[in-house]
Chains A and B, each alone.
Chain A
Amino acid sequence: MNAVRPHFPALLVVLPLLGAVLAAFLRRGGPAFALALIVSWILPFVAGTLLWQVLATGPISYHLGGWEPPWGIEYRVDVLNGFVLVLVAAVGAVTMPVARRSIVLEIAEERLAWFYCMYLLCLAGLLGITVTGDAFNAFVFLEISSLASYVLIALGRDRRALVAAFQYLIMGTIGATFYVIGVGLLYLLTGSLNMVDIATRLGAAAPTQMPAIVAALGFITVGISLKLALFPLHAWLPNAYTYAPSWVTAFLSATATKVAIYLLIRYYFSVFGVTIDLPALPITEIIIALSVAAMFVASFIAVFETNLKRMLAFSSVAQIGYITLGIGLADQAGLTGGLVHIVNHALMKAALFLAVGAIFYRACPAQIKDLAGIGRKMPLTMAAFTIAGLGLVGTPGTSGFISKWYLALGALDKGWWVLVFLIVGSSLIALVYVGRVLEVAWLREPSAAIAHASDPPLSMLLPMMVLAAATIYFGIDTEWTAGVASTAAKALLEGLR
């Protein structure tokens, strides 16, 4: 154990990567599932140990292949990405047991091993983006995770899944290419690809090369925003989430966009913010405006959406708005709110999409109106759905309330009363779209279509109960969410100029 211990940062990538290759060789669904499950269950311990170590002793720098940074690739774990690493690994571990039963309905037997292979590749990419301290390495991992997720989405039963995957591929590749143009400009300016090194060298370049720095910032912002589905760039998300296999939607909604958000935070606060006075550029105003637009426009669309998965997808766009709002506020409370909402939203959305997957598994309706009375047939599933749904609204007692509380505090610290009202107002719209489903599910008489529905098997039920319980638990005890997020936010803001 002691021999492996220093290599934990690399293990986060190496384990799923090797697992993916092995899964492809196994060829059969059963063994591949066992392998994916083992890998998914080891990773949270690795990530958790790293976060614990970082909280105790400060950032860890791991030199890949023994090459010193800035020449070699550096894996750097601090509180912020330790936090995100634990989230991604935990979501993988909690949702994986669902996959076995959920996915056989949607994917042919002979393709199952490939599905687990793609999942592990996607996980390797996501963890890689988070753990790496190298700008170009992050691009490579971004593409690994994206290519794997295009395949995962294309596996959906409906032929529209193919079109959704194609659209995502086009948008995602444009995003990644924008990102790599931005990194290229940074490389031209500084001659370095190590993020910490870029940050220090940008200072020397800043007085004379400001236009190039702003161009790099613009390209990187647009590129990553495409990946994280910031409001006007979210066009790929609703279709991809709607037509992907239900388990894939649950996993991707909780991890892929969150990791992209992490990358944006990393660039703003640890690379550009260190030497450039970001508030002097109109970038924070733009982000806040787009976030508020996302919170309202996407929520309104969700209210009028008839397909359950699509409604939740638009809700994701709106909730991403809250997180980016925290980035835009860039003060202690606001940033804490944004960071804590990364975790809270991931857990809630995973629970909601798993519940949708369970409904699909037992009864198969896709439209909200077909759900009439489903709460009486699948009480535990809908209980989890209800708790997570109330979390989306931000009801006190759920984790969603904690996020919005910090965001509102952040807005108040700046004296922006209007923003506080906007946060509350958009939550009320969320109440409408969540309430609409709850009303149909609990208060109406069961229809004939779902007469034989019942709660799904334990392997599907337990993960969603765990996630729903976490939504309540993190609404009461915030030490491990808001506490860690606040430490991370403090470290980020101290790094700013």
Chain B
Amino acid sequence: MRALTTFFDHYDYVVTIFLMMTGLYIVVARGNMVKKLVGLSIFQTSVYLLYIEPGKIIGGTAPIIDPAFTVYSNPLPHVLILTAIVVGVATLALGLAIVVRINEAYGTVEEDEILERDREA
């Protein structure tokens, strides 16, 4: 019973870690470069959740000092993750651009076929 309450109390973290592992698995298991990038994106996105979840306290308000409120949510993780999102988008864009170039050079985006074509050449 206790394990179950712990699980549901932290269900957001469970989701985060599930997404994290899903993303990492796709990166490792898939040979298609576009799918790899999708996996990488999911992996990075899960980290955004990891940062943002603890920033919110139920019942907490924006951190503006006021005698009426005593519980504040922390806005800093959101700001950090805004930066991380920019980095993630840039990485994805660059990755896709390289994949386009690879497709032009090899005529495929499958890793095993690329290796095969390099061996033939």
**B47 adjacent to chain A (CB < 8 Å):** yes
For B54, what are the chain A residues with a Cβ–Cβ distance below 8 Å? 188
For B80, what are the chain A residues with a Cβ–Cβ distance below 8 Å? 136, 193
Interface string of A172-198 (1 = CB under 8 A from B): 011011001100100110000100000
Beta-carbon nearest neighbor of A167 in chain B = B111
Beta-carbon nearest neighbor of A188 in chain B = B54
In the complex, how many angstroms separate the beta carbon of B58 from the nearest chain A beta carbon?
17
**A162 adjacent to chain B (CB < 8 Å):** yes
**B27 adjacent to chain A (CB < 8 Å):** yes
**A170 adjacent to chain B (CB < 8 Å):** yes
In the complex, how many angstroms separate the beta carbon of B46 from the nearest chain A beta carbon?
9
**Interface range on chain A: under 10, 10 to 19, 20 to 34, or 35 or more?**
20 to 34
Residue of B33, B36, B50, B95 near A184 (CB, 8 A) is: B50
In the complex, how many angstroms separate the beta carbon of A488 from the nearest chain B beta carbon?
30
**16 further A-B pairs in the complex, CB-CB below 8 A; given A136-B80, A180-B47:** A140-B83, A140-B87, A143-B90, A150-B94, A160-B118, A162-B102, A166-B33, A166-B95, A166-B98, A170-B40, A173-B95, A174-B24, A181-B47, A184-B50, A187-B77, A193-B80
**A260 adjacent to chain B (CB < 8 Å):** no
Q: Kindly name the residue among B44, B94, B102 whose own CB sees the greatest number of chain A CB atoms within 10 A.
A: B94
Q: Which residue numbers of A lie inside 8 Å of B, CB to CB?
A: 136, 139-140, 143, 147, 150-151, 154, 159-160, 162-163, 165-166, 169-170, 173-174, 176-177, 180-181, 184, 187-188, 193
Given contacts A169-B94, A174-B27, contact A162 B40 (CB under 8 A): no
In the complex, how many angstroms separate the beta carbon of B73 from the nearest chain A beta carbon?
13
For A140, what are the chain B residues with a Cβ–Cβ distance below 8 Å? 83, 87
How far, in angstroms, from A169 to B44 measured CA to CA in the complex? 13
In the complex, how many angstroms separate the beta carbon of B53 from the nearest chain A beta carbon?
10
Residue of B36, B84, B90, B118 near A170 (CB, 8 A) is: B36
**B91 adjacent to chain A (CB < 8 Å):** yes
In the complex, how many angstroms separate the beta carbon of B77 from the nearest chain A beta carbon?
8
How far, in angstroms, from A188 to B16 measured CA to CA in the complex? 15
For B21, what are the chain A residues with a Cβ–Cβ distance below 8 Å? none
**B51 adjacent to chain A (CB < 8 Å):** yes
Q: Which residue numbers of B lie inside 8 Å of A, CB to CB?
A: 24, 27, 33, 36, 40, 43-44, 47, 50-51, 54, 77, 80, 83-84, 87, 90-91, 94-95, 98-99, 101-102, 105-106, 114, 118
- Is the Cβ of B105 less than 8 Å from the Cβ of A147? no
For A160, what are the chain B residues with a Cβ–Cβ distance below 8 Å? 118
Beta-carbon nearest neighbor of B23 in chain A = A177
For B114, what are the chain A residues with a Cβ–Cβ distance below 8 Å? 163
Beta-carbon nearest neighbor of B90 in chain A = A147
- Is the Cβ of B118 less than 8 Å from the Cβ of A169? no
How far, in angstroms, from A165 to B40 measured CA to CA in the complex? 15
- Is the Cβ of A150 less than 8 Å from the Cβ of B27? no
- Is the Cβ of A180 less than 8 Å from the Cβ of B84? yes
For A151, what are the chain B residues with a Cβ–Cβ distance below 8 Å? 94
- Is the Cβ of A173 less than 8 Å from the Cβ of B40? yes
Given contacts A143-B87, A169-B91, A174-B27, contact A162 B101 (CB under 8 A): yes
In the complex, how many angstroms separate the beta carbon of A8 from the nearest chain B beta carbon?
25
For B91, what are the chain A residues with a Cβ–Cβ distance below 8 Å? 143, 147, 169, 173
For B99, what are the chain A residues with a Cβ–Cβ distance below 8 Å? 166
For A162, what are the chain B residues with a Cβ–Cβ distance below 8 Å? 98, 101-102, 105
Given contacts A143-B87, A147-B90, A181-B50, contact A173 B105 (CB under 8 A): no
- Is the Cβ of A159 less than 8 Å from the Cβ of B27? no
Give me 13 A-to-B residue pairs in the complex whose CB atoms sit less than 8 angstroms apart, sorted by A's number: A147-B94, A160-B118, A162-B101, A163-B118, A166-B95, A169-B91, A173-B44, A173-B91, A177-B43, A177-B44, A177-B47, A184-B47, A187-B77
For B36, what are the chain A residues with a Cβ–Cβ distance below 8 Å? 170
How far, in angstroms, from A28 to B11 measured CA to CA in the complex? 55
For B83, what are the chain A residues with a Cβ–Cβ distance below 8 Å? 136, 140
For B40, what are the chain A residues with a Cβ–Cβ distance below 8 Å? 170, 173-174
Given contacts A166-B98, A169-B95, A174-B24, contact A159 B105 (CB under 8 A): yes
Beta-carbon nearest neighbor of A168 in chain B = B98
How far, in angstroms, from A456 to B50 measured CA to CA in the complex? 53
How far, in angstroms, from A162 to B106 measured CA to CA in the complex? 10
For A176, what are the chain B residues with a Cβ–Cβ distance below 8 Å? 87
For A165, what are the chain B residues with a Cβ–Cβ distance below 8 Å? 98
How far, in angstroms, from A35 to B64 measured CA to CA in the complex? 46
How far, in angstroms, from A470 to B91 measured CA to CA in the complex? 37
Beta-carbon nearest neighbor of A165 in chain B = B98
How far, in angstroms, from A160 to B47 measured CA to CA in the complex? 31
How far, in angstroms, from A187 to B101 measured CA to CA in the complex? 39
For B33, what are the chain A residues with a Cβ–Cβ distance below 8 Å? 166
In the complex, how many angstroms separate the beta carbon of A288 from the nearest chain B beta carbon?
28
Q: Which 4 A-B pairs have the closest CB atoms?
A: A159-B105, A143-B87, A162-B102, A166-B98
For B95, what are the chain A residues with a Cβ–Cβ distance below 8 Å? 166, 169-170, 173
Given contacts A143-B91, A170-B40, contact A150 B105 (CB under 8 A): no
